[in-house]
Amino acid sequence: MLFYIVDDDESTRAMLAEIIEDGDLGVVVAEAENGSKLDKQYSLLKKIDILLIDLLMPVKDGIETIQDLKPVFQGKTIMISQIESKELIEKAYSQGVTYFITKPINKIEVLSVIKNVIENIQLEKSIHNIYKLTENLLPDNPAEEQSGNSSSDLTASAEFLLSEAGITGEKGHQDLLDILNFLFKYEREETFNDGLPPLKDIYLKVIQDKKELSSQQVLNREIKAAEQRIRRAIYHSLTHFASLGLEDFMNPTFEKYAPKFFDFDIVQKRMEEIKNNRPSTPPIRVNTKKFILVLYFEAKQLLA
C-alpha cells in the first residue's frame, strides 16, 4: 500500500510514518504540512492507496483539500484530528472520509484503523474482479486450501457478521445464510472464474434445494418472497449502521462494517433521513449483490 501523510505537525508525520513502515503496512511515498502542497500533484495522487490528512491545518485544511481532490484521488482517506465536534466530523464523512484517527496519536489505534482500511480495499478489489471476470479468486487447489473449513464453520462466521449488521431475527436472516452456504458449495465445485451467478439463479437454486414445489408459478412466488425478505433485511442493516453513526461516528462496528457493506454515500443519505425524520428523493436503493458478496468474503476471512 502507498501512503501520503498531510499534517502540519512534523512529529505527527514522523510518528505515523514509523508506525506504517515498522508495521509492514506499506510505504509512505510523500508528506506535506498542509493541503496546498497537494495542488498539482495529481499524477502522484493517482497512485496513492491511502491518504492520511489532518482536519485542521493552516493555509488549507483537510476538508477543503479533500473537496478539491475528489475528481483526482480515488483512494481511501483517513482523517486525523483531536476535534470532537459532531458537525465537523459529519462534514468530513460527507466528503468521503471513511475513518478517523484521534490525536494524540496512539499506535494501537493507528494500526487497527489502517488494517481495517486495507481490508476494505482488498475486499473491494475482490468484488471488482468478480464483476469484471478478470481472474480466479480461488487458490490453485481450492479443495486442499479449504479442506479445514466446512459449511457449518461458514454459517457460524456469518451469524456473527449478521449480528454485527443488525440482521439477527429479521425474516431474511435465514435466506442469507442459505445463500452463503450455496456460494460455499458453488465456489468449490464451479469456482468463480465466470463470475457470480445472477441473483435470480441463486434464489432459484436455494429454493429448489430447500423444498419441492408443485409448479413454476409457486416457484416464482417463492423467489419473489425471498427477494423481498432479503432486500428488507439489508435495508434494516443500513438503518442499523446509520443509527450507530448518528449516535457515535467512531463506533467501532460502524467504522469497520458500514463502509464495507454499503457505499458510504448511501449510509450518509440514510443518516440524513433518520436525522430529519423524512425520506429522501429519490428513495434509497440497496445493492443486494454487493451486500451478499461482502458478507460471503468477510465470513470466509473470519475462517482464515
Instruction: State the total domains in the chain.
Output: 2
* Same domain flag for 159 and 233: yes
E strand intervals along the chain: 2-6, 27-32, 50-54, 76-81, 99-102
b/e burial code for range 5-42 (CB count within 10 A of at least 16 → b): bbbbeeebbebbbebbeeeebeebebbbbbbbbbeebe
pLDDT at 166 over 90: yes
* Same domain flag for 146 and 292: yes
Among 131, 150, 176, the domain-final residue is 131
CATH number for 53: 3.40.50.2300
Its pTM stands at 0.67
* Same domain flag for 260 and 202: yes
pLDDT at 272 over 50: yes
* Same domain flag for 148 and 121: no
Contact yes or no for 62/9 (Cβ under 8 A):
no
Among 112, 131, 150, the domain-final residue is 131
Integer Cα distance of 284 and 17 in angstroms: 39
Q: Alpha carbon 91 to chain centroid distance?
A: 20
Q: Alpha carbon 276 to chain centroid distance?
A: 25
pLDDT at 142 over 50: no
What stretches of 133-215 show up as alpha helix (H) in DSSP?
Answer: 142-145, 151-164, 173-189, 199-210
* Same domain flag for 121 and 143: no
For 138-148, what is the mean pLDDT? 44
For 36-49, what is the mean pLDDT? 88
pLDDT at 269 over 60: yes
pLDDT at 152 over 50: yes
* Same domain flag for 172 and 299: yes
Integer Cα distance of 304 and 294 in angstroms: 15
Q: What grid cell was written down for 291?
A: 451486500
Among 100, 131, 162, the domain-final residue is 131
* Same domain flag for 6 and 114: yes
Higher pLDDT, 137 or 215: 215
Q: How confident is the model at residue 124 (pLDDT cuts 50, 70, 90)?
A: confident
pLDDT at 148 over 60: no
* pLDDT tens digits along 238-267: 999 999 988 887 888 998 899 889 988 888
* Domain membership of residue 160 as a residue range: 139-303
- Bridge partner residues of 101 (DSSP): 80
* Same domain flag for 154 and 126: no
* Same domain flag for 162 and 287: yes
* Same domain flag for 145 and 247: yes
* Same domain flag for 205 and 100: no
Q: How confident is the model at residue 130 (pLDDT cuts 50, 70, 90)?
A: low
* Same domain flag for 30 and 94: yes
